[in-house]
Amino acid sequence: MNSGEKRHLSRGSEEADVLDRQLFAEELGADIEWIKKSPYPAEMVENNIENYIGTAQLPIGVAGPLLIQGDHAQGEFYVPLATTEGSLVASYNRGMRVIRESGGCRAKIFEDHMERAPVFRFTSLAEAEKFSAWLGNNRGIMDEAVSKTTSHGTLSQVDIFNLGRNVYVRFGFHTGDAAGQNMVNLATSQICRDIAEAYPGWSELESFNLASKFCSDKKYSQINVLKSRGKKVTAEVEIPDSVLRERLRTTPDVVLDNFLSGTLSAIYAGCVSNGFHAANGIAAMFIACGNDPANVAESHVDILDIRPAEGGIYFAVTLPSLIVGTVGGGTNLPTQRECLNVLGCKGGGKAGKFAEIVAGVVLAGEISLIGAITSDEWVGAHEKLGRNRPPHA
């Protein structure tokens, strides 16, 4: 195809359209043999992708069993992890063994809500103040607006933040077993339309935006650490000294020294948390189980707590803003659905269970990595399992 020639792609028959787009990619000089191999039927992915040409295949490993005693997840779970990083599954598998031999981890969800934060700018400070007071006295209008858009979500909280003439309102919603971003977008839009009709001083509004950055969608923010967005979940375990020495070849004193030094260096470097690598386990689970990988940007914040315990050491991780779902989105794709089924987490009533398992997986990863670092085995493990050299190397 000449560089100046415009290529007209097929439209109207999705199966034929896919083949035409594949041909277009090959005409660009690319070999897409593996992308074309074993594709999903076009109708299966019509709400998940546009301009579909094939599938990106990633290897999936399984780690476990992970023993959890949570409010929603109870028992042993074998965890599918999709990753291209050698040694990762082995590391999580080791951490899960440590947890299991320590009697299992406990897990609990402390908060559960998804936010959207519009901004209202008024013509004066006085008008901004009046609007803020009115919002506080008219919650019923907002609850009724939500009921017009969804039978699965409810308005759980309304937080008002003033910045001069700007009024930022974080609407929080319970979204059932869906991650809920689309649900809260629709509900918040309806709330704002109903506010516009009911608020007597609406004529003093200078500007309005449905989505400010105050909800921090798909990006880290301190407000999501403090107020949560998604689920705030903690997993904890006490590891006996004997297990720590046998499985991780380290000691409580060495681990505590590393934790203190590491936390100090995290503060000095301006890190968003003092954990090690929560993003590894979360991303691998999200990809395997059909959750939006972009939500790792918010979900990866990992607050690590390590303390001496009688006869051993205490580990806990808190994920303040873990965004997960077990219905909708990519959870209905075949391989993702199968991975959720491996965990017993597909469908309604399972999002809390999935969130507690994710927290347990993150805990296992933190335990294994600090063991590798403090026993001086980290580099050797990556050299043995994680170096994917080209054949000529």
| Residues labelled catalytic | 85, 292, 382
Strand-pairing partners, residue 317, are: 235, 304
Which residue type does 117 have? A
What does the alpha-carbon distance between residue 230 and residue 211 come to, in Å, rounded to a whole number?
Answer: 17
Q: How far apart are the first and last CA of the chain?
A: 37
Distances (CA, A) of 108 to 198, 232, 266, 269: 40, 9, 26, 30
Residue whose structure tokens are 């003033």? 162
Under 8 Å between Cβ of 76 and 62:
no
Structure tokens at 305: 């707590």
